[in-house]
Amino acid sequence: MSADFQKALDALPHGAEFRFVDRLTRLEPGKSGAGEYTVRGNEPFLRGHFPGEPIFPGVLLAEAAAQLAGIVAQSDPQIPPLKNLRLTALRNVKILGTARPGETIQIEATIAGRLGGLVQAQVTGQVNGEVVLRAELTLSGDL
């Protein structure tokens, strides 16, 4: 991973326990990006989702996509990073599948627009070439 990719990834405010982007595979700062998260199988939430048949929760697919969208938005060289950036809205969310331990989720995010402290993004997630998530989301932060 390039130094720029690592710097963008390190800017995520989430702790290791709640970080769902392992690596960036593409970054067009402020415009779009792609990343991956590999489901390890030892994540604590998998013990209860579902015992004996663990699957990555759909809501965390949306969280992973929001984290990637935040990385893309915050890396824009023309716009200072927003403070306290957070996910504030989800629209047209379709959870079409999931990931199991050992599988890698490929996430893509494209910034669709910005207005003040609001960032709109289009996001998708795929596992083994199959779309598992499609959504529009809004991030908000302080200027």
Active site residue 49: yes
Residue recorded with tokens 């996910």? 87
Alpha-carbon gap, residue 46 to 38, rounded angstroms:
13
Concatenated DSSP letters of 3-27: HHHHHHHHT--S-GGG----EEEEE
Amino acid 108 reads E
Sheet containing 104-115, strands listed edge to edge, beginning at the edge strand earlier in sequence:
23-28, 32-38, 104-115, 118-127, 130-142, 83-95
| Catalytic-role residue among 49, 90, 95, 101 | 49
Helix axes 3-10, 58-74, angle to 10 degrees: 120
Active-site positions? 49
